[in-house]
Amino acid sequence: MFIKTRWAFTLFFGLVISAACSAEIPPEQTSVVSLPPPNDYRIYLSDVAISHIVDGRLHIVDGQSLKYLGMIGTGLTGLVTLSPDRSEIYVATTYLAKLNRGTRTDQIDVYDSQKLTLKAEIIIPPKHAQSLPYKGMIAATPNGQFILVQNATPASSVSIVDRKAAKFLAEIPTPGCWGILPAQSVNNRFSTICGDGTLLTITLKPDGTASEQQRSERLFDPDKQPVYTHTEHLADTYYFISYLGQLFSANLGGAVATVGKSWSLLDADDIKKAWRPGGYQPFALQAQTGLLYVAMHPDGKEGSHKDPATEIWAFDLKTQQRVARAAGNKAIALAVSAGDAPLLFAIDPTTAGVVNYTTAPTLAPLKRVDGFGEAPALIESH
């Protein structure tokens, strides 16, 4: 009797399920949600996606809430920057026809920064530097006319691209020099850091070729004070930091770069404890306040220049004094927002995490969220 009852229940249940499945199910409605308008606190995280490096990512994040907003594919070692007016995102990247082999195509993908939609693809020579996404590997001139891309074959050169015409114009050799530092007061000039400690400044013709190239006097001694290729600037004045904590500056507005004064970020006690900068994007500069934020670690030694931060120090460029210090959260990359209440952002590579900090009245961590992709290594603020 039990067996019959159980069989009857199973049959009844099956009939109910069959009837439900035969009922018409309304089709799912799909839609596209628009992002909120960008503000000073939006940040962009370049992720080389090392475990599947042919498929890199750019993560777009609300820097206040640390809420994930969207993603753009950046191909193989994509180099990312924003247009001067922040309306577009430029990605210089490589695509291989058979994913990990085959015909190589290098191009600049242009995205709308509001909609994250693709606007243009500009073919460039298959030479773009397949490096980690350091700042200065791709840049735009202040009026947005030229996009400049660092090449490595391994010979160093720079590709000049006309954004409006969406075409490659010229390749300028820069042997022994690296990085792209556009002048801000003119629209046809950039400088690059050379291995002998000088700066090479290149002035462009309208067709993208060089009208002149001029070397500065020595900015730094590469044997005693090698500098990071990462730079920050206030107008035409660019700032450089050495592995040992020396700050250098140069004005890049003219046909020849003008070297400024240098000073140490370290006092006697700091030197005794061997404090040094570290990371891949080791400092950030807030233009309105003139405050410089530096990722620092103690017990520095030869080869520790990429070590994560134990602390973050803030310096006033006018007084040349340290004005704040805070926990470093293992930061290897720093960026700071614009606006009346700037936020500082830091990447912790051990967790693919982002920490945001207040900068006034105190420098202090606010919030942390982990798991932004796999290997984010560069932050750019909107």
- The overall pTM is greater than 0.85: yes
Q: Would residue 133 count as lying in a domain?
A: no
CATH of the domain at 370: 2.130.10.10
Q: Would residue 352 count as lying in a domain?
A: yes
Q: Are 216 and 199 in contact (CB under 8 A)?
A: yes
pLDDT score recorded for residue 1:
46
pLDDT score recorded for residue 255:
98
pLDDT-derived band at 382, boundaries 50, 70, 90: very high
Q: Would residue 343 count as lying in a domain?
A: yes
pLDDT-derived band at 13, boundaries 50, 70, 90: low
pLDDT score recorded for residue 36:
86
pLDDT score recorded for residue 14:
58
Q: Would residue 258 count as lying in a domain?
A: no
pLDDT score recorded for residue 2:
44
pLDDT score recorded for residue 8:
54
For 16-20, what is the mean pLDDT?
Answer: 53
For 208-222, what is the mean pLDDT?
Answer: 98
pLDDT score recorded for residue 9:
52
Q: Would residue 239 count as lying in a domain?
A: no
Cβ neighbours of residue 306 closer than 8 Å, sequence gap 6 or more:
278, 279, 280, 332
**What is the residue-wise DSSP string for 275-336?**
-EE-SSB-EEEETTTTEEEEEEESS--TT-TTPPPSEEEEEETTTTEEEEEEE-TT-SEEEE
pLDDT-derived band at 25, boundaries 50, 70, 90: confident
For 22-28, what is the mean pLDDT?
Answer: 71
* Domain region containing 363: 267-382
pLDDT score recorded for residue 29:
75
- High-pLDDT (> 90) share of the chain, %: 89
Q: Are 217 and 209 in contact (CB under 8 A)?
A: no
pLDDT score recorded for residue 86:
96
pLDDT-derived band at 90, boundaries 50, 70, 90: very high
Q: What is the mean pLDDT of the chain?
A: 94
For 1-23, what is the mean pLDDT?
Answer: 53
Q: Would residue 155 count as lying in a domain?
A: no
For 330-343, what is the mean pLDDT?
Answer: 95
Q: Would residue 317 count as lying in a domain?
A: yes
pLDDT digits (tens, 9 = 90+) for 105-153: 999 999 999 999 999 999 999 999 999 999 999 999 999 999 999 999 9
pLDDT score recorded for residue 35:
86
- High-pLDDT (> 70) share of the chain, %: 93
pLDDT digits (tens, 9 = 90+) for 147-185: 999 999 999 999 999 999 999 999 999 999 999 999 999
pLDDT-derived band at 340, boundaries 50, 70, 90: confident
For the chain, the domain total comes to 1
DSSP code of residue 15? H
Dist. CA 302–CA 223, nearest whole Å: 12
Q: Would residue 337 count as lying in a domain?
A: yes
Distances (CA, A) of 154 to 29, 80, 177: 51, 20, 12
pLDDT digits (tens, 9 = 90+) for 263-288: 999 999 999 999 999 999 999 999 99
- Check whether 371 has a pLDDT greater than 70: yes
